[in-house]
Every structure is written in C-alpha cells, then in structure tokens.
Amino acid sequence: MVFSGFPLVHPLRPKRSDMFAKEGYALIIASLVMGGIIGTLGWMTGGIPGGLIQGFALLIVLFTLYFFRDPKRTIPEVPANTILSPADGKVLKIINIDEPLYHKGPAKQISVFLSPLNVHVNRIPSTGVIEFDEYVPGDYLVAWHEKASELNERSQLGLLHPSGEKVLFKQIAGAVARRIVYHVTVGDSVQVGERFGIVKFGSRMDIVVSRDSEIIVKVGDKVQGGLTTLGYLPTSN
C-alpha cells in the first residue's frame, strides 16, 4: 500500500540523448559492417537469390538496432517505498523463498522475463545505497527455467533502502545471452528508475524483497522498466 506521509520520489528525467544503449555500439558497428559485406555479395549475385541475400543483410542490421534501442523515459513521481520494474517484459513468477545471500531469510521473489524483442536496458528498482555486488559465471539454461537464478551467469546486487529494507536484484543470462553489463558498485547511491546496465540477447531479472512487501502485479502482466510499479516495500510509518 501507499503510506500517507511517506515522501515522494520526484520524476527522474532522461539525462542522455542516445537512441541506442552504449553497450551495444560495438555490435551495432559489427552488424553494419557484416550487413554491408553480405549486401554487397547479394548485389553481385543479382536476381532473386541476390535480393534474398540483401534482405537477410538488412534484417541483421535492423534487428541489432532494434535490440539495442534505449528509449527516453521520464520516471514517474512515486512514493519512496515504491518498487519499480527494473526491466521490460512479462512477470514470470511471484514466489516466497528463503534467500541466503542478502536477506538471509524469508523473502519474496518477482521474476521478469525479457524476450529478445523487449528493451533490454535495466533500471534500479528502488532508491537506496548499493551494499553488495557480485558477478557469477554460470550456465545458460533458458531464462524461465526454475534453476536459472541459481545456476546461470548472473549479477547479484543488494540495495539498502533508506527505510532499512533490503532489495536484491539479479540480471540473469538466458540460453542465448552471454554478456551481462552493470555500472554500479558497493557504496553507490542510486535512485529508483536510474539506468544501470543491460543483458544482451534475451534474459531475466529477479527482484527479491522482504516477505511483508505488497506486490500489486500478477503473473503474466506486461511491465516496463522504470515505469511499472511492481509493489511497495513495508514501512513502519
């Protein structure tokens, strides 16, 4: 629930004018070069086969540009105990767990699955200070696998909210993804909705909060990073 008297977090406006995520620049350039080479081969081949080759080259470039798009977003004014979705995608599951890493006890997990067609820029789910960060090499199970959060390549970031509540969020690689990128570390003060990283080519994000948190989304809901409210952290106010 939204608690009266709980301060509001004011909108976070976009600071960058980039159309594409900077983490994708190298692959975008590579796709342009590859597309140009393949397209030239298609032009040299000529006829219907050549046209098909050129079409394939164009698809490579367009998909890469589409995947690494980074749309401007103004984060809405929300109560300070709000949990915003850290990613675009679909709510995969909402479960109670025993979390040994950061909460060290009973907790609630919300998992968001990102298809290759979703925006893959990741955002901070709640305001606070980063207390824990860890990169874990791992397997590449499909992102919806029940063991993906334990076995797959992932980042694990622990955030302490000003109220004392803990929020653990994980970038989890899927069967295709092979590159997790994040730009926060222990001691960083972060604001809800702030851009912090990306997982390339299909992935999942887990958000782990205290068991008493109120979750207002349900399994199957479509969410947008930095825009959709997942729920609210508990507070004594």
* Domain that residue 199 falls in: 76-232
Measured in degrees and rounded to the nearest 5, phi and psi for residue 93 equal -160, 155
**What pTM does this model have?**
0.79
CATH number of residue 209's parent domain:
2.70.70
CA dist., res. 182 & res. 192, Å (int)? 15
Residue by residue, pLDDT tens for the chain (237 residues) are: 444 344 544 444 444 446 766 766 777 788 788 888 888 888 888 888 888 888 888 888 887 777 777 888 888 889 999 999 999 999 999 999 999 999 999 999 999 998 878 888 899 999 999 999 999 887 777 666 777 777 788 899 999 999 999 999 999 887 665 678 899 999 999 999 999 998 876 688 999 999 999 999 999 999 999 999 999 999 764
Residue from 111, 149, 203, 213 carrying the catalytic annotation = 203
Residue 172 in domain: yes
Max CA separation in the chain (angstroms): 72
On whether residue 147 sits in a domain, the answer given is yes
Helices (H), ranges, the chain: 25-45, 47-67, 148-151
**Domain's final residue, options 38, 67, 96:** 67
**Two structure tokens written together for 5:** 């008297």
Clarify whether 85 is annotated catalytic.
Answer: no
- The DSSP element (H or E) to which 97 belongs, if any, is strand 89-99
Q: For residue 123, give the nearest of 87, 75, 97, 71 by alpha carbon.
A: 87
- Say whether both 90 and 47 belong to one domain: no
In a domain, 109, yes or no: yes
